[in-house]
Amino acid sequence: MSNPIDRRPLGLKIGLWIFVGLWFLIAAFPFFWTVWGSFKVELDFFSIADWTNAIFGRNTEDAYGRPFAGAGYNGAFVQEAFWQNAINTTIVCVCVVTISLTIGTLGGYALSRSGRKYVFWLLITALMFRALPQVTLVSGYLPVFFDWNVWGYLPTAIIVLVAINQPFTLWMLHSFFESIPKDLDEAAKVDGCTQFQAFRHVIIPVMWPGVITTGLFSFLLAYNDFIVTSLILNEGNRTMVPQIAAFLGTTYTEGNVMFAVAAVVSATVPLFILVMFFQRQIVSGLTAGAVKG
């Protein structure tokens, strides 16, 4: 069979190329622009006089003698101690992913092997929980957390994020475990294993692809969260995203918007690397739910 691309008329081909190129610009250009601009001074990044300043950095050159300056990064990391927020984000993400996968794997496995009617209702409940805006839940936590004196600490935010993460994790892992043949653990049970032993010795060795994909999404949820971390953590324990929001509140007015730009770029770099290595898993994770549903 000949390749259908070859049979496209030239006009259509050019049209497709232009459209794809345009989409590429829309999707990627804002990031390139911001990365480039983060090494300039504010007068170049926001140039009233001439927009080409943002490309060539004329004001940056006047101030620092070269068209690239790390002043924004210096301000964010040294002056405002943004590295502390980066460490907090790392702690939160590692803990959320570990805990959420541990309890989610057990739950998702049980859902896929139970075969009883309540499984359906549990999954529907999870779907409804998934639909709730997080901020409505946070307004439920706050008075209780104040009373118990647990407001402001990293462990509180971690537990909350794990719980908010569970509905999605359960859905993903349930559909993943459904795709592992039931005969595997049935055979182990016939050989005298308990359900947990069957899970441990037969299922755990083959579950990693699905668990890694789910883990990536748990990580993204924890990393990208703004609502929970900004309302539950105190100033000293902030993670990166709420700290960037705080930069806008305090530093923005002082003319140090470049701190926020540098922080935004720094927070995007780990995600960029993540997508580079795990693109296939992310795509398959996004489509897994779709193919099932």
Chain residues 129-168 in contact with another protein, contact rule CB under 8 A: 129-144, 159-160, 162-164, 166-167
Contacts of 228 (CB under 8 A, 6+ apart): 134, 138, 157, 160, 161, 164
Q: Which helix (H) or strand (E) element contains residue 248?
A: helix 240-250
Cβ closest to another protein, residue 65 vs residue 72: 72
Q: Closest approach of Cβ 227 to another protein, in Å?
A: 6
Using CB under 8 A, which residues numbered 220 to 279 contact another protein?
220, 223-227, 230-231, 241, 244-245, 248, 260-261, 264, 267-268, 271-272, 274-276, 279
175's enclosing H/E stretch is helix 154-178
The least distance separating another protein from the CB of residue 135, rounded to whole angstroms, comes to: 5
Closest to 96 (Cα-Cα) out of 221, 213, 207, 208: 221
Q: How much is the CA Rg of the chain, to the nearest whole Å?
A: 24
Return the number of the residue (55 or 63) whose C-beta is nearest another protein. Answer: 55
Task: Extract the tokens encoding 235.
Answer: 């100033």
Binding letters toward another protein, positions 98-117, x by CB under 8 A: ----xxx-xx-xxx-xxxxx
For another protein, the binding residues in 45-64 under the rule CB under 8 A are 45-48, 51, 54
Q: How far is the CB of 80 from another protein (least distance, A)?
A: 16
State in angstroms the smallest separation of the CB of 183 from another protein: 15
**Residue 232 and residue 151 in contact, taking contact as beta carbons nearer than 8 Å:** yes
Size of the site for another protein (CB under 8 A): 100
- Write down the least CB distance from residue 19 to another protein, Å: 5
Q: Letter for the amino acid at 17?
A: W
Stretch that binds another protein, among 63-71, 72-80, 124-132, 203-211 (CB under 8 A): 124-132
Q: Burial level of 199, CB count in 10 A (0-12/13-18/19+)?
A: buried
CB of 195 to another protein, least distance (A): 5
Long-range contacts: 28-31, Cβ < 8 Å, 24+? 31/268
Long-range contacts of 223-228 (CB under 8 A, 24+ apart): 223/89, 223/93, 223/270, 223/271, 225/134, 225/161, 227/134, 227/135, 227/138, 228/134, 228/138, 228/157, 228/160, 228/161, 228/164
The whole-angstrom separation of Cα 76 and Cα 217 is 28
Q: Which CB sits closer to another protein, 69 or 168?
A: 168
Is there binding between residue 83 and another protein (CB under 8 A)? no
Residue with smaller CB distance to another protein, 65 or 255: 255
Q: Which is nearer to another protein, 91 or 159 (CB)?
A: 159
Q: Is residue 195 at the binding interface for another protein, with CB under 8 A as the rule? A: yes
Q: Is 10 in the site for another protein (CB under 8 A)?
A: no
**235, 129 in Cβ contact below 8 A?**
no
CB of 139 or CB of 179, closer to another protein = 139
Contacting another protein (CB under 8 A), which of 14, 23, 66, 79?
23
Q: Per rule CB under 8 A, is residue 31 in the interface with another protein?
A: yes
Interface with another protein includes 206 (CB under 8 A)? no
* Closest to 282 in 3D by CA, of 224, 220, 225: 220
